[in-house]
Amino acid sequence: MAVLWLWLAVVLGVHAETSEGLASLTFITEEYPPYNYVNNQQLTGRSIELLEAIFVATNTPLSRQDVRLYPWVRGYELALSQPNTVLFSTNRTAGRETSFHWVGPIGQDRIALLAHRNAPITIDSLAQAINQGLKVAVIREDIGAQALLEAGYPEHLMLPAIDNRSALHMLARGRVDLWAYSADVATWIAESEGFPKNSLTPIHTLSESSLYFAVNQATDQRLVSLMQQALEKVQASRPER
């Protein structure tokens, strides 16, 4: 699949409009499988393959080896503060809309409150979760944490985790009742950690949104447009699955 994406990019031949093109940008990602993650000590995933196709399409002398892998909090803060920084894969939400330029969409995501399958937890609303005093594992600046804060979930019931694997083990060990995260990504993480299939049960959807490349607001708009144009051309020529 990766080879096919690169071949399409070469054929499309989108050209850079500035002297440095996309090579002047810093690309940051995190572990968010199946979109971007490390396998055999190399970054891979749907978004990584798509970005490499964009590099080829814009004659950008970069590859996946040039993408920086950071924990989500650090990557998010850098994308907010450093011009010419691109963070992916990032949920585009109303609360984040004015914080970045957006290139995409590159995928769809559902953020949910996840319970361990052995936990007898059922709720019909966040109000019920609050009334029951349910503790939720969150990752700071992650969309799950932001969705809960925006909905008025008490901060003392939100326990921060270092990363997604840490949040998973907090849930599995009973330190929290729920985990606010992408349902698909959480399932992938759980299986990669050796948990049985269907170990996690989504019990309440927090949000559904599209994934994008989030570009620092101070970045030259011409580069944002160049990247968006290349993305659209590559996606338009993507074979139907």
pLDDT over 60 (residue 11)? no
Task: Output 5 or 216, whichever has higher pLDDT.
Answer: 216
Q: In which band, very low, low, confident or very high, does the pLDDT at 237 lie, cut at 50, 70 and 90? A: confident
- Mean pLDDT (whole number) for 208-230: 98
pLDDT in the model for residue 21: 87
pLDDT over 80 (residue 19)? no
pLDDT in the model for residue 164: 96
CATH number of 109-209: 3.40.190.10
pLDDT in the model for residue 9: 46
Check if CATH label 3.20.20.70 holds for domain 2-107+210-236.
no
Q: In which band, very low, low, confident or very high, does the pLDDT at 239 lie, cut at 50, 70 and 90? A: low
Provide CATH 3.40.190.10 ranges for the chain: 2-107+210-236, 109-209
pLDDT in the model for residue 238: 73
pLDDT over 70 (residue 3)? no
Least confident of 1-5, 23-27, 45-49: 1-5
* pLDDT tens per residue, range 83-99: 999 999 999 999 999 99
- Mean pLDDT (whole number) for 176-196: 97
pLDDT over 70 (residue 1)? no
d(CA 37, CA 2) in angstroms, rounded, equals 15
- Mean pLDDT (whole number) for 68-78: 97
Task: Output 10 or 187, whichever has higher pLDDT.
Answer: 187
The mean pLDDT of the chain is 92
